[in-house]
C-alpha cells in the first residue's frame, strides 16, 4: 500500500464531508462536489459511497433527519416546522421518512424524550449542534484486501450497441449485439473480448438515463453490420479486480473496489469509463463461477 495515495482519497472525501455538514440546508451539486474532491465526476460518487458507506445525498438526508430528531426532542417547535426544516414539503412525507428511519412517528418520538437522535452510520458521522470539523471513519468491510492488479490494455476497436437505462439491464443490449454481430462473424475470433462500458455514475444519474455500451473487440479489417457502431477504447494502465460469482453482486463490489481496494492499492484514478470484461462462457459456466473483470483507468 502507498499511504500517500490512500491519504489523498481520505482527504478528498473529508473535504466533501466537511462541505456537506456545513451546508445541510443547501442542495448538493454532485459535479461541484466531485470538483471539490479533485476527482472525476464519473468515479467520485462510487469512491465516496465506498469510503463513507452512503452517497452524498443519502448522507445529507440522514443528517437532516438526525437534526430533526434533536429538534423534536429538545425544542417545542411544531412538527410541521421541523418537517420543513428537514427539507420536506409536507408533514406527511416527513412523517413517512421519519418513521422509516426511527421506527416511530415524530409525535411519539417527542413524547419519548430519552430516545437517541442518531441513526446507524458506518462512517461515524452524526449531527451535532455546533459541529465545526466533522471527521469520518473510512469504511472497512474488508475491501482493502481485495486483489487489485494492473492490466495493460491495448487500443481496441469495438463493435458496440448503445444501452440507455439501468445498468442491470445491459443484458438486453448484449442480446441485440448477438443478433446483429453473430451472423456477421464478429464473435469468431477466439481472442475477442466481450466488454461493457459504463459512461455515467449510477449514484448521480437517474437509472432511466444511464448510458452504457455492450461491445465486442474486433479486428481493424472487420466489417460492421448495420445497427452496430464502431467505438475506440483507449489503451493504457487499468486497475483490475476479478469478481467470481453472479452479476447481481456487482453493484456492491464496485463501491468496495473503488472506495476501499483502490485507495489501499496506491493507484490513482484517471478519467474514463468503467469497464467490465466477461471472461466466462455463460452457456457452460455455473452462475457462481462466472468470472468478471472490473477495470478503471489509473496512473501508475
The DSSP annotation for 132-179 comes to -S---PPP-SSGGGS--EEEEEPPEEEEEEEEES-GGGTHHHHHHHHH
Rounded CA gap, 275 and 248, in Å? Answer: 16
What local confidence, expressed as pLDDT, does residue 133 receive? 74
Rounded CA gap, 22 and 13, in Å? Answer: 14
What local confidence, expressed as pLDDT, does residue 136 receive? 93
Give alpha helix (H) positions in the chain.
3-22, 30-37, 41-52, 56-74, 79-85, 91-102, 106-111, 171-181, 250-256, 262-265
Report the pLDDT averaged over residues 112-128: 89
pLDDT band at residue 45 using 50, 70 and 90 as cut-offs: confident
SS3 217: strand
Least Cα distance to 230 among 150, 157, 153 occurs for 157
Least Cα distance to 254 among 233, 267, 240, 266 occurs for 240
Rounded CA gap, 240 and 300, in Å? Answer: 13
Rounded CA gap, 177 and 227, in Å? Answer: 9
Rounded CA gap, 238 and 300, in Å? Answer: 9
- 143 vs 261, more confident: 261
Q: How many C-beta atoms lie closer than 10 Å to residue 207's C-beta?
A: 12
Q: Determine how β-strand 236-244 pairs with β-strand 274-278.
A: unpaired
pTM, to two decimals: 0.83
What local confidence, expressed as pLDDT, does residue 1 receive? 41
* Cβ atoms of 2 and 266 closer than 8 Å: yes
Q: What is the residue-averaged pLDDT of the chain?
A: 92
Report the pLDDT averaged over residues 192-208: 90
Report the pLDDT averaged over residues 147-165: 96
The rounded percent of the chain whose pLDDT value lies above 90 is 75
pLDDT band at residue 165 using 50, 70 and 90 as cut-offs: very high
Q: Dump pLDDT digits (tens) for 232-250.
A: 999 999 999 999 999 999 9
Q: Cell 451539486 identifies what position?
A: 29
What local confidence, expressed as pLDDT, does residue 91 receive? 93
What local confidence, expressed as pLDDT, does residue 214 receive? 97
Torsion angle of the four alpha carbons 58, 62, 68, 70, in this order, in degrees rounded to the nearest 10: -160
Q: How many C-beta atoms lie closer than 10 Å to residue 119's C-beta?
A: 15
SS3 41: helix
What local confidence, expressed as pLDDT, does residue 150 receive? 96
Amino acid at each position: 500500500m502507498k499511504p500517500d495515495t490512500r491519504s489523498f482519497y481520505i482527504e478528498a472525501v473529508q473535504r466533501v464531508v466537511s462541505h456537506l455538514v456545513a451546508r445541510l440546508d443547501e442542495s448538493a451539486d454532485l459535479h461541484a462536489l466531485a470538483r471539490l474532491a479533485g476527482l472525476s465526476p464519473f468515479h467520485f460518487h462510487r469512491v465516496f459511497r465506498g469510503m463513507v458507506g452512503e452517497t452524498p445525498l443519502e448522507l445529507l438526508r440522514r443528517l437532516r433527519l438526525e437534526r430533526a430528531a434533536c429538534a423534536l426532542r429538545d425544542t417545542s417547535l411544531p412538527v410541521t416546522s421541523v418537517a420543513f426544516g428537514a427539507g420536506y414539503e409536507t408533514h406527511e412525507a416527513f412523517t413517512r421518512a421519519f418513521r422509516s428511519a426511527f421506527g416511530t412517528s415524530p409525535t411519539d418520538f417527542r413524547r419519548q424524550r430519552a430516545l437517541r437522535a442518531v441513526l446507524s452510520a458506518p462512517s461515524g458521522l452524526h449531527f451535532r449542534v455546533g459541529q465545526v470539523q466533522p471527521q469520518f471513519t473510512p469504511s472497512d468491510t474488508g475491501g482493502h484486501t481485495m486483489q487489485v492488479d494492473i492490466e495493460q490494455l491495448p487500443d481496441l476497436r469495438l463493435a458496440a450497441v448503445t444501452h440507455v437505462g439501468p445498468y442491470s439491464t445491459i443484458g438486453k443490449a448484449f442480446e441485440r449485439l448477438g443478433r446483429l454481430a453473430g451472423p456477421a462473424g464478429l464473435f469468431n475470433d477466439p481472442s475477442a473480448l466481450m466488454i461493457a462500458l459504463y459512461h455515467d455514475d449510477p449514484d448521480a444519474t437517474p437509472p432511466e438515463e444511464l448510458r452504457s455500451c455492450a461491445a465486442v473487440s474486433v479486428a481493424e479489417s472487420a466489417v460492421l453490420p448495420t445497427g452496430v457502431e464502431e467505438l475506440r477504447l483507449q489503451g493504457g494502465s487499468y486497475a483490475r479486480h476479478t469478481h467470481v460469482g453472479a452479476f447481481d453482486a456487482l453493484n456492491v463490489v464496485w463501491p468496495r473496489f473503488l472506495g476501499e481496494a483502490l485507495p489501499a492499492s496506491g493507484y490513482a484514478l484517471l478519467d474514463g469509463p468503467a469497464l467490465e470484461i466477461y471472461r466466462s462462457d455463460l452457456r457452460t459456466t455455473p452462475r457462481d463461477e462466472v468470472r468478471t473483470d472490473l477495470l478503471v483507468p489509473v496512473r501508475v
